[in-house]
Amino acid sequence: MCLAIPMQIESIDGFTARCQAKGVWRDVSLFMMQDAPPAVGDFVMVHVGYAIQKIAEADARTTWELLDQILEESGA
């Protein structure tokens, strides 16, 4: 199963973005988004270290809530 996590871009340096999601920070490659480059403040779906698509803030927050519910119900 593949899973992408929504993250918010805090800074960009070339093809690398510093992103955060719920207090977790990652350096993320923007290489796969060259046709529609994101900007600081945008929300992106991140899969194996690559931003793969821009999403709306509301969609990111909904996804975080659903992931929290899954973790809570699984006892993690």
CA 63 centroid distance within chain:
10
pTM for this model (two decimals): 0.89
**Structural domain count, the chain:** 1
**Rg of the chain (C-alpha set):** 13
pLDDT, tens digit, 9 for 90 and up, residues 29-52:
999 998 999 999 999 999 999 999
Distance CA 65, CA 76 (A): 15
> Which domain, by its residues, includes 27?
5-74
**pLDDT on residue 75:** 79
Only one residue has tokens 């093809």, namely: 15
CATH code (residue 24): 2.30.30.140
Instruction: Please give the distance of CA 47 from its chain centroid, rounded to a whole number.
Output: 8
If phi over 0 gives left and psi between -120 and 50 gives alpha, with beta otherwise, what is residue 37? Answer: beta
